[in-house]
Amino acid sequence: MVNELRIAVVGVGRIGFTHAEHLARRVRGARLIAVTTSRPGRADEVLRACGAVPVYPNLDLLLESESLDGVVIASSTSAHVDNVERCAAAGLHILCEKPLSLDLEGCDRAVSAADAAGVKLMIGHVRQFDSGNLEAKKLIDEGAIGRPVLYRSISGDMDPPPASFADLGVSGGLILDSMYHDIYLGRWLMDDEVVRVFGEGGALIDEGVRSAGDVDNAVVSLRFASGSMGTLTASRVTRYGHDVRGEVIGDEGAVQIGRYRHTPVRLMDRNGVHHDMAHTTPERMGEAFVTMLQAFVDCVRLDSDPPVAHADGRATVAVAVAATRSIQTGIPVKIEEI
């Protein structure tokens, strides 16, 4: 067993910054060694939050300068495969934020690079590590709701991303970037494969998203191999907060996941009932991020298999690509066509 993993974070945007904070403070058996960012202002924020760690402007300088055991890749999705290949070639174990790639060919390249180098590659499916989702999965597997027949999910961010991020060639767009979580959870909770999708979407509110060729609201219907169904909704503009909820209905009951309140407090006065709500993914999934990072560190230290299988990440990308195509063409798409 390796006593302590020396880990760097590649890209400290919103999620990468969260990873760096947790590695610096809360993950056992790991030490944050360095981060990369091309934004000087972000470097100052990292130093204030994480202590005096080196900040490099790019991956090349990081790999040349530091002795590492692993990396957390939180760069833009369009750079994931290249970064995985370079880090694998350097002999580093890798936790790569979802999705692994914008397409299936990229997923296969990344997995092949990790296999050839003999390093572990785990995909950052944070919602799998959320306590609510873990308990729901346990209940479903125990038969508490009978046979699952219907999956429903809601995902919403308060504000849309900049047009540069909404670009389908950078993030994959609303479906591959955001609804990806709901697709992955659907396959995992239902323990079933998606065989067909039909999606509709539109850039109904944000001009930046519209100019990038993406949609800011979408509804996608799923058909599973067993005949079960799913309905997914995603929005870039849930102004009231970061809304993440799900439900699985079975022939003997149902399980619901998620909450509106961030803190368990309600204020009641003459004007009604009031409570707060999580505004960001790190707020809503804070503990799940720590649990996910700990799982990655533990699988490397104990030389065990990563808890997120490559095949699940690839299958989720396939469904997301199919759903995006359905929205663009207006017709159902079979997953086998991707």
Q: pLDDT per residue over 272-312, tens digit each?
A: 888 788 887 777 777 899 999 999 999 999 999 999 989 99
Asked whether residue 174 falls in the same domain as residue 243, the answer is: yes
Asked whether residue 184 falls in the same domain as residue 81, the answer is: no
Spatial neighbors of 65 by CB under 8 A, at least 6 apart, are: 34, 54, 56
Per the structure, how many domains does the chain have? 2
Q: Which of 244, 179, 171 is nearest to 218 (CA)?
A: 179
Asked whether residue 76 falls in the same domain as residue 154, the answer is: no
Asked whether residue 99 falls in the same domain as residue 202, the answer is: no
Banded model confidence at residue 257, pLDDT cuts 50, 70, 90: very high
**What mean pLDDT comes out for the span 253-265?**
83
Banded model confidence at residue 1, pLDDT cuts 50, 70, 90: low
Q: Which of 124, 143, 174 corresponds to the end of one domain? A: 124
Torsion of Cα atoms, 80 then 83 then 87 then 92, to 10°: -30
Torsion of Cα atoms, 18 then 21 then 16 then 132, to 10°: -40
Asked whether residue 325 falls in the same domain as residue 185, the answer is: yes
Residue 276 burial (10 A CB sphere; 0-12, 13-18, 19+)? middle
CB 197 within 8 A of CB 175: no
The percent of residues in the chain predicted with pLDDT above 70, rounded, is 99
Instruction: Print the domain residue range for 60.
Output: 5-124
Asked if residue 61 is part of any domain, the answer here is: yes
Q: Which of 314, 278, 332, 2 is nearest to 176 (CA)?
A: 314
Asked whether residue 25 falls in the same domain as residue 150, the answer is: no
Asked whether residue 67 falls in the same domain as residue 209, the answer is: no
Stretch among 22-26, 244-248, 254-258, 280-284 having the lowest mean pLDDT? 280-284
Q: Which of 78, 102, 124 corresponds to the end of one domain? A: 124
Asked if residue 71 is part of any domain, the answer here is: yes
Does pLDDT of 145 surpass 90?
A: yes
Does pLDDT of 149 surpass 70?
A: yes
CB 215 within 8 A of CB 171: no
Q: What is the pLDDT of residue 43?
A: 86
Spatial neighbors of 284 by CB under 8 A, at least 6 apart, are: 242, 244, 262, 278
Torsion of Cα atoms, 170 then 98 then 75 then 179, to 10°: 40
The H or E element containing residue 231 is strand 229-235
Q: What is the pLDDT of residue 232?
A: 98
Q: What is the pLDDT of residue 268?
A: 78
Q: What is the pLDDT of residue 286?
A: 76
Banded model confidence at residue 113, pLDDT cuts 50, 70, 90: very high
- Strand duo 30-36 + 55-56: pairing: parallel
Asked whether residue 115 falls in the same domain as residue 154, the answer is: no
Asked whether residue 72 falls in the same domain as residue 178, the answer is: no
Asked whether residue 85 falls in the same domain as residue 191, the answer is: no
Asked whether residue 253 falls in the same domain as residue 157, the answer is: yes
Q: Which of 124, 157, 187 corresponds to the end of one domain? A: 124
The H or E element containing residue 112 is helix 104-117
Report which of residues 286 and 96 the model is more confident about.
96
Q: Give the domain CATH number at 320.
A: 3.30.360.10
**99 upstream amide cis, omega within 30 of 0:** yes
